[in-house]
Chain A
Amino acid sequence: MKTTKEQFVVVHPLDDVFEPKVDTEALGPMAMTRSVRFSLLSLRAYLILMVLLVVYHVVMLAR
């Protein structure tokens, strides 16, 4: 902020007053189209499968 001519005050973020942000809790869950929902479900299945595959492989190697 400019206090007088050629004088500025610089404030560290932690010393500044709290800046209002988006109220994310009030927004609730994101509205998703059917294709996005399907993609996320596919991603979920892919992740579970891949993690199981890796765990199986590591266990086999440990034997």
Chain B
Amino acid sequence: MTNKTLIMPAAVSTAGSAAGVETEAAPVRGRVVKSKLARDLLTFLMVFGPGLIVMVADNDAGAVSTYSQAGAQYGTHLLWIVLLLLPVCYFIQEMVVRLGIATGKGHAAMIYQRFGKWWGLFSLVDLQLVNFLTLVTEFAAINLALTKMGVDPRYGVPLAAACLVMLVATGSYRRWERIVVFLCLLDFAWFWIAFRLGPPIAQIVKHALVPTRPAGGITPDLMFLVIAIVGTTIAPWQLFFQQSCIADKRLRFADLKWARLDTFMGACVTVTAAVCMMVAGAASLTHGFRFTDPAQMAMDIGTFAGPVMRHLILLMMINAAVLGTTAISLSSAWAYGEVRGWPHSLQLPWREARGFYALYLISVAAAAGIVLIPRAPLQLIILGVQVLAGVILPSAIIFLQLLLNDKELLGEYANKPWNNWVNWTIIVVLFILSLVLAAQVTAPNLFRS
């Protein structure tokens, strides 16, 4: 591979294709490589990003809390659920990839155009509501972790919010993507954390592959946690985020297989990190600690694994919240921009996409502000978020499923019969879980024996 940059007049210069050079007025910048392997590798690296980001950002503050709680209460018994969610995550997001590449538009725009204004507005309101509440939980986690690290959240939270705004305001999609991919790669620290805590490997493998019932049997608490794990692994904002991200990056039809690989790798990374979070929780259980929140779990682990481990877990909590915040805020801003017809691209400078950036800024600033209000009902907000996300998710996937069966829209990229079987099964299971979750939270007495 050479670093030589070629600037040429070309029309259809899809990366990696063996098409001949065709002329057109617009110049195209390309990199010259000398082998097919280098071509494929470089093409993948250029396409790589949206899949990894959406998956790793899904391991946000709420996910860190849920997975570590699962480990701290049930050891490694629930690992098989996380592993089961890997193909589910991939299948759902793969549909989004096809839709994004085929249409070059975001998910909100698709719902608006294909199902009409009323449904478009309905989906948008749902998304904005759940996203905003989720953002509050992200900043609540930053607040909590900073406090445990001895940093005054009155300064730390606004600073984090300011950094998050600066992250997108550079007018370059590539710059944003590179920084966020770097933050995603920091997630590998979870592997080191789990490894350093001396996990029981044989037990982990057994519990990951063979479903087992934890001591105490199937209780309402266990059911709630199982549903929370499912809810935190697949969230409605992910559909909107990845499709808009693909549209903003202008991925081409030839990029589809690389975008699929990106998504699959992201799913593997996120599920493995989730396993590590559960292992960390299980380690605190082994040492006799009772779980209250992930920041306290970091403090507990610090007592037997040292201060480095304590600070690392707290920093990873903040990293998870930062990744979640940028992805969720962008999904809100992209969706709103698409529906309102505003310019909505990270490639645009601030002055050319004021509405898009303003919405991102308002979301981040308002969520950070709420967290700083003394005695704000954060626990209630977290509870509300879990239930609302669980309720909205199946309907969001139904829209996705209908769009993916729209042959007029997708042609050869529409779902195959086996896709539909898999996806309808996922939808039915999610619907049942969402009903159980909603019933459990709204009428807890129903589940008490």
Residues on A lying within 8 angstroms of B by beta carbon are 1-3, 6-19, 21-22, 24-25, 27-30, 36, 40, 43-44, 46-47, 50-51, 53-58, 61-62
Please determine whether B32 and A8 come into contact, CB atoms closer than 8 angstroms.
Answer: yes
Known: A7-B32, A43-B398, A54-B438. 16 other contacts (CB 8 A): A1-B21, A10-B16, A10-B42, A11-B28, A11-B29, A11-B31, A11-B46, A12-B174, A13-B252, A15-B30, A16-B13, A19-B12, A22-B411, A24-B105, A40-B119, A47-B126
Q: Does B162 contact A (CB under 8 A)?
A: no
* 13 A–B pairs (Cβ distance < 8 Å), ordered by A: A3-B21, A7-B34, A9-B31, A10-B39, A11-B13, A11-B28, A21-B104, A22-B104, A29-B115, A54-B388, A57-B442, A61-B380, A62-B380
Q: Does B306 contact A (CB under 8 A)?
A: no
Please determine whether B47 and A1 come into contact, CB atoms closer than 8 angstroms.
Answer: no
Please measure, in the bound complex, the distance between the C-alpha atom of A60 and the C-alpha atom of B26, giving whole angstroms: 61
Residues of B within 8 A of A22 (CB): 102-104, 409-411
**Contact of A47 with B392 at beta-carbon distance under 8 Å, contacts A13-B252, A14-B249, A30-B406 already known:** yes
Please measure, in the bound complex, the distance between the C-alpha atom of A16 and the C-alpha atom of B408, giving whole angstroms: 26
Please determine whether A15 and B29 come into contact, CB atoms closer than 8 angstroms.
Answer: yes
Interface size grouping (class) on chain B:
35 or more
From 398 to 445 in chain B, residues with beta carbon under 8 angstroms from any chain A beta carbon are 398, 402, 406, 408-411, 438, 441-442
Residues of B within 8 A of A47 (CB): 122, 126, 391-392, 395
Please determine whether B10 and A36 come into contact, CB atoms closer than 8 angstroms.
Answer: no
Residues of B within 8 A of A10 (CB): 15-16, 30-31, 33, 39, 42-43, 46
Residues of B within 8 A of A43 (CB): 395, 398
Top 5 nearest A-B pairs (CB, nearest first) are A21-B104, A9-B30, A11-B30, A8-B39, A15-B29
Residues of A within 8 A of B255 (CB): 13
Residues of A within 8 A of B39 (CB): 8, 10
Chain A nearest Cβ from B261, distance in angstroms: 15
Please determine whether B11 and A17 come into contact, CB atoms closer than 8 angstroms.
Answer: yes
Please measure, in the bound complex, the distance between the C-alpha atom of A28 and the C-alpha atom of B47, giving whole angstroms: 30
Q: Which of B29, B251, B438 contacts A50 (CB 8 A)?
A: B438
Residues of B within 8 A of A16 (CB): 13-15, 28, 250, 252
| Stretch from B74-82, B106-114, B137-145 forming part of the interface with A | B106-114
Please measure, in the bound complex, the distance between the C-alpha atom of A8 and the C-alpha atom of B17, giving whole angstroms: 9
Please measure, in the bound complex, the distance between the C-alpha atom of A37 and the C-alpha atom of B344, giving whole angstroms: 31
**Contact of A3 with B32 at beta-carbon distance under 8 Å, contacts A29-B115, A36-B402, A58-B383 already known:** yes
Residues of B within 8 A of A46 (CB): 395
Please measure, in the bound complex, the distance between the C-alpha atom of A17 and the C-alpha atom of B10, giving whole angstroms: 8
Please determine whether B6 and A6 come into contact, CB atoms closer than 8 angstroms.
Answer: no
Q: Does B330 contact A (CB under 8 A)?
A: no
Please determine whether B250 and A18 come into contact, CB atoms closer than 8 angstroms.
Answer: yes
- A-B pairs with beta carbons under 8 A, tally: 163
Please determine whether B10 and A53 come into contact, CB atoms closer than 8 angstroms.
Answer: no
Chain A minimum-CB-distance residue to B13: A11
**Contact of A8 with B409 at beta-carbon distance under 8 Å, contacts A27-B113, A51-B391, A62-B380 already known:** no
Chain B nearest Cβ from A51, distance in angstroms: 7
Residues of B within 8 A of A6 (CB): 34-35
Residues of B within 8 A of A54 (CB): 384, 387-388, 391, 438, 441-442
Please determine whether B409 and A27 come into contact, CB atoms closer than 8 angstroms.
Answer: yes
From 236 to 257 in chain B, residues with beta carbon under 8 angstroms from any chain A beta carbon are 249-253, 255
Chain A minimum-CB-distance residue to B25: A17
**Contact of A17 with B28 at beta-carbon distance under 8 Å, contacts A29-B116, A40-B119, A57-B441 already known:** yes
Q: Does B288 contact A (CB under 8 A)?
A: no
Chain B nearest Cβ from A54, distance in angstroms: 5
Q: Does B221 contact A (CB under 8 A)?
A: no
Please determine whether A1 and B387 come into contact, CB atoms closer than 8 angstroms.
Answer: no
Residues of B within 8 A of A58 (CB): 380, 383-384
